[in-house]
Amino acid sequence: MASLIDRSNLDFLLNRWLKVDELLARPSFAMHDLAEVSAYLDLAEELAGDKFLTHYKLADQIEPTLTEEGVEVLPQIKRALEQFAAAGFFSAPFPETYGGLQFPELVQAAGLGLFMAANLATSAYAMLTIANARLLVAHGSPAQAEAFARPQIEGRVLGTMCLSEPQAGSSLGDIRTRAEPDGDSIYGPQYRITGNKMWISGGDQNISENIFHLVLAKIPETDGCLPEGTKGISLFIVPKFILAEDGSPGIRNDVDVAGINHKMGYRGTSNCLLNFGEGTRFRPGGRAGAVGYLVGEPGAGLAIMFHMMNEARINVGLGAASVACRAHLLSVAYSQERMQGRLERNNNPVPLIAHPDVRRMLLAQKCYAEGALSLILYAARLVDDRETAETDEERAEADLLLGLLTPAAKTWASEWGLAANDIAIQIHGGYGYTRDFDVEQLYRDNRLNPIHEGTTGIQGIDFVGRKIQKDGGAALITLGKRIRSTCISAAAADERLRNHAADLEAVWDEFVSLAQGYQDVGRDVMLSNATELLQAFGHLVVGWLWLDQALVTSTTKSPLQETKVACCDFYFQTEMPRVTNALHHLAHRSPLPATVPLGVFGVEQ
């Protein structure tokens, strides 16, 4: 099989570290056993290697094109997603009542990660569709879930999320898309939508029979003006083809593709500017306005969309981690094959991997790639706990931790996964800079991840402005207990892990005290340092996860134990000092970025 993500590590993470067996003991997942989980991952690995990886480079070379008929993508993408649907992967996380396989999120994430490692752009269609359908199952009416979630769960229809507009990227309060009431329908209150949506992944394609857009728009107030800010945002389902009575695609809705974006990477996923309601080509019912159906209450759109967004953020991290993991395996393979240089004069050439500097890069890369993967799977486990843990307390705790960890999971995996991809190019040398080697494209694909679904800067503000302050800092206290529990166990292990535990505990205490102090530093200092605070947090948390993994393996001497302890040693030697360094800087509470005069950038004031 193709090497996508080190399967033995993935099995370790699920089985030994995150104890998927405990999940399978819960009533929600009792229909599955460990053998089924393993078979599910086997199938994912096989399909990813045979159907997704095989058009990886081609989909980069032959981008989606815009024709009179709409966006056309590489036929191989369609065929891959058909196989993905036929094997039931769209349905994996859904309840049996929707025809789903009802697998834990942890298992679903591990499976999706294998597809993302093989081909991030093709997987993105599936990722968005699953998130779209989950939102509808959770927040749509029964009629909406039946009509719009089920075809996506079956993989017949693909879904999108339409948030940004040309003038409103991160700032969703400024969206101008308008939804005018248009009577009632069997799917609930009907509206006519007018506006332009930018950066819509999968916004149009010739893969699926229909496309279901989840669209943020504002319902005008009585004076005809749109409400200001994020509170006036509502959510609508807008199908590309209005459903016929039997649910099949009927007449064309007033949604048109105004253009496609030509990206650095991630090219297989079409990315569109969509016009809603212009009425130039499609006029349902004889007039302009895209027909849409309100999901949830008016004004609740952003809150509901965050259900999808939070999942999408973790999935962005999953993609970044998966792509980094494949780059790491490619780097290990290349550094074994490529003979270059000598260690002693007049000896024979040695493989790259014999050089200490190359091993240093491989160690860092492994710590980043597999560290990111562990962080994401840990978050996926929290999703399961939030939904299915036995007691209310456990569910509430999982929810609290997930809220705290989501911006870190998205950001850390994106930023350091990308660093792992950068190292892959460096290890490949000149060859890695050519398009003949996958590592070049993997870097370009991954570069999107620190940008979409909330840039790193946006995540920083979410983390510092909301997450660490919520409920008087309850999330940090809860996480602290888990970290301390690892440290206590590590103190009973060997000397190396004991030392790492002592380091971790000290850095954690310093972080908490610093983060608490940041709750009343004022806007300038907070906004000047939010990103670095989040980055330090992410780096610290991943250190904890490495120690925790090393600890799980420490009972028996094995190659796996050697691996985990070496990575843990490296991480605590070279990576944890970055956290200390950041904390020292953050302790200054410098407002410099907020207060620097614009003249410094040559800008007239």
Residues 7-26 that bind a second copy (CB under 8 A): 8
Radius of gyration of the chain (CA): 24
Question: With respect to a second copy, which residue has the nearer C-beta, 328 or 386?
Answer: 328
Residue whose C-alpha is closest to residue 28's, from 115, 107, 110: 107
Tokens read off for 161: 């999320």
Q: Residue 274: helix, strand or coil by DSSP?
A: strand
Under rule CB under 8 A, residue 358 binds a second copy = yes
Instruction: Give the footprint of a second copy on residues 174-233 (CB under 8 A).
Output: 174, 198-199, 228-229
- Residue 329 CB, shortest distance to a second copy, in Å, is 8
CB under 8 A, 24+ apart: contacts of 528-531: 528/590, 528/591, 528/592, 528/593, 528/594, 529/464, 529/586, 529/589, 529/590, 530/457, 530/460, 530/461, 530/463, 530/464, 530/465, 531/456, 531/457, 531/459, 531/460
Query: How many C-beta atoms lie closer than 10 Å to residue 578's C-beta?
Result: 14
The β-bridge relationship of strands 211-218 and 158-162 is parallel
Under rule CB under 8 A, residue 499 binds a second copy = no
Candidates 223, 337, 481, 603; binder of a second copy (CB under 8 A) is: 603
- Residue 111 CB, shortest distance to a second copy, in Å, is 21
Q: Give yes or no for a contact between 445 and 265, defined as CB atoms under 8 angstroms apart.
A: yes
Instruction: Give the footprint of a second copy on residues 419-438 (CB under 8 A).
Output: 425-426, 429-430, 432-436
Instruction: Give the footprint of a second copy on residues 243-262 (CB under 8 A).
Output: 261-262
- Residue 509 CB, shortest distance to a second copy, in Å, is 19
The β-bridge relationship of strands 233-239 and 211-218 is antiparallel
Q: Residue 181: which H helix or E strand, with range? A: strand 178-181
Q: How far apart are CA 181 and CA 329, in angstroms?
A: 54
Query: How many C-beta atoms lie closer than 10 Å to residue 227's C-beta?
Result: 16
- Residue 434 CB, shortest distance to a second copy, in Å, is 5
Under rule CB under 8 A, residue 303 binds a second copy = no
Instruction: Give the footprint of a second copy on residues 360-389 (CB under 8 A).
Output: 360-363, 366
- Residue 28 CB, shortest distance to a second copy, in Å, is 35
Instruction: Give the footprint of a second copy on residues 460-489 (CB under 8 A).
Output: 460-461
Instruction: Give the footprint of a second copy on residues 527-546 (CB under 8 A).
Output: 527-528, 530-531
Under rule CB under 8 A, residue 299 binds a second copy = no
Instruction: Give the footprint of a second copy on residues 105-144 (CB under 8 A).
Output: none
Q: Which stretch binds a second copy (CB under 8 A): 122-130, 187-195, 377-385, 566-574?
A: 566-574
Q: Which stretch binds a second copy (CB under 8 A): 97-105, 178-186, 394-402, 588-596?
A: 588-596
Candidates 444, 484, 496, 498; binder of a second copy (CB under 8 A) is: 444
- Residue 375 CB, shortest distance to a second copy, in Å, is 20
Tokens read off for 537: 């947090």
Q: How far apart are CA 307 and CA 437, in angstroms?
A: 37
Candidates 238, 554, 563, 568; binder of a second copy (CB under 8 A) is: 563
- Residue 532 CB, shortest distance to a second copy, in Å, is 8
Q: How many CA atoms lie within 13 A of 224 on its CB side?
A: 0
- Residue 376 CB, shortest distance to a second copy, in Å, is 21
Q: How far apart are CA 241 and CA 471, in angstroms?
A: 45
Candidates 79, 263, 484, 496; binder of a second copy (CB under 8 A) is: 263
Question: With respect to a second copy, which residue has the nearer C-beta, 252 or 359?
Answer: 359
Tokens 């993994």 map to which residue?
A: 549
Under rule CB under 8 A, residue 557 binds a second copy = no
Find all residues with CB under 8 Å of 277, minimum gap 6, and list them: 192, 193, 194, 195, 254, 288, 289, 290
Question: With respect to a second copy, which residue has the nearer C-beta, 226 or 396?
Answer: 226
Q: Which stretch binds a second copy (CB under 8 A): 186-194, 239-247, 546-554, 568-576?
A: 568-576
Under rule CB under 8 A, residue 451 binds a second copy = yes
Under rule CB under 8 A, residue 72 binds a second copy = no
Tokens read off for 108: 């679903």
Instruction: Give the footprint of a second copy on residues 316-345 (CB under 8 A).
Output: 332, 336, 339-343, 345
- Residue 272 CB, shortest distance to a second copy, in Å, is 12
- Residue 230 CB, shortest distance to a second copy, in Å, is 10
Q: Give yes or no for a contact between 218 and 188, defined as CB atoms under 8 angstroms apart.
A: no
Candidates 69, 280, 356, 555; binder of a second copy (CB under 8 A) is: 356
Candidates 456, 469, 535, 554; binder of a second copy (CB under 8 A) is: 456
Q: Residue 408: which H helix or E strand, with range? A: helix 392-432
Tokens 């997603």 map to which residue?
A: 81
Under rule CB under 8 A, residue 580 binds a second copy = yes
Question: With respect to a second copy, which residue has the nearer C-beta, 237 or 358?
Answer: 358
Under rule CB under 8 A, residue 270 binds a second copy = no
- Residue 334 CB, shortest distance to a second copy, in Å, is 12
Question: With respect to a second copy, which residue has the nearer C-beta, 79 or 589?
Answer: 589
85 in the Ramachandran plot: left (φ > 0), alpha (ψ -120 to 50) or beta? alpha
Under rule CB under 8 A, residue 349 binds a second copy = yes
For residues 402-412, b (16+ Cβ closer than 10 Å) or e, as one string?
Answer: bbbbbbbbbbb
Under rule CB under 8 A, residue 65 binds a second copy = no
Instruction: Give the footprint of a second copy on residues 26-55 (CB under 8 A).
Output: none
- Residue 594 CB, shortest distance to a second copy, in Å, is 4
Q: Which stretch binds a second copy (CB under 8 A): 248-256, 498-506, 543-551, 562-570?
A: 562-570
Candidates 27, 68, 520, 601; binder of a second copy (CB under 8 A) is: 601
Question: With respect to a second copy, which residue has the nearer C-beta, 92 or 427?
Answer: 427
Under rule CB under 8 A, residue 95 binds a second copy = no
CB under 8 A, 24+ apart: contacts of 431-439: 431/334, 435/57, 435/60, 437/330, 437/334, 438/56, 438/57, 438/326, 438/327, 438/330, 439/327, 439/330, 439/331
DSSP one-letter string for 8-44: HHHHIIIIIIS-HHHHHTSGGGTT--HHHHHHHHHHH
Under rule CB under 8 A, residue 512 binds a second copy = no
Q: Give yes or no for a contact between 237 and 295, defined as CB atoms under 8 angstroms apart.
A: yes
